[in-house]
Structure 1
């Protein structure tokens, strides 16, 4: 695969989760708000033209539920890897997971958790000024989407190497 292939990385924080008593963190389900926000973000991805070629999703219940609701709004279902390394991952660990994305995937969607996703998004976008970056620096709420464009192989993605093209929160819709 060419090293200069144009790529799109979509980072999606899981939708708002519930906090039921005596339920381990990994098994927390979505809250009502999360079940409303996730499909809205899926519609936004479809309408904006960001259909993933591959999905890397945390194994946590709330991320799997988020993906089910998002993919219901997309045209078709891309191959999905439920990746245990995404759960609780740091930004550097997420980069390692993304490096394993299929070479043929032009757009990869990662569904995960904070603080790892937010730190990764800030790391990728660097210190570039602009409306999208300023919006991202405010907060990375649940069900938010950060879309990055760059050229290269998935294993070449690094700090400051991508351009943030969209940052959308459920509140923005």
Structure 2
């Protein structure tokens, strides 16, 4: 794949989590989250987005979110990597993980947590978005099971602040 080939980074915040008496890392999805995650997957499928590579935090809620979302896609992803560095990561730390993506990957989905996913989306997009997507993100936040689709040209090693543009921002029903 050429370094000039457009790439997409699809950022998915985990669906709504429950608050049982367990460590934060072990928190499962709440009932609402078990409805949100497939809705996020259906939105991806309806949008024609079927990522070939997945970077997913190791937390229970992110793994459950991806497991429910992926069942809505028309085909399986080529590779899923459960990456502990995404849990509680800053935008800069996530960018360092993204730079390790194999160059033959066109579309990558990152399943993570706030505030990291919102900060990552804002940092990568800078001030560039299609329509009012960036304004909606900044005003409304990045809700559970929300999805941001960013596009950029260049190699994965060239991922840095301002390199992408935000082309879509999906917010599933929050009830």
TM-score (norm 2): 0.94
Matches of 1:4 and 1:37, distance apart in 2: 35
**Where does structure 2 lack aligned partners over 5 or more consecutive residues?**
none
TM-score (norm 1): 0.95
**Where does structure 1 lack aligned partners over 5 or more consecutive residues?**
none
Task: Give the aligned partner of residue 99 of structure 1.
Answer: 99
Q: Which aligned pairs between 1:22-171 and structure 2 lie closer than 5 A? A: 23-78=22-77, 79-128=79-128, 130-138=131-139, 139-171=141-173
Aligned length: 171
C-alpha distance after superposition, 1:93-127 (max 9, x if no partner): 10011111121110000000011111011111112
Matches of 2:74 and 2:97, distance apart in 1: 25
Report if aligned partners of 1:54, 1:102 keep a CA contact under 8 Å in 2.
Answer: no
Runs of 4+, deviation exceeding 4 Å = none
Matches of 1:46 and 1:100, distance apart in 2: 26
Matches of 1:102 and 1:45, distance apart in 2: 22
Matches of 1:70 and 1:88, distance apart in 2: 21
- Displacement of 1:160 in angstroms is 1.1
Matches of 1:76 and 1:159, distance apart in 2: 31
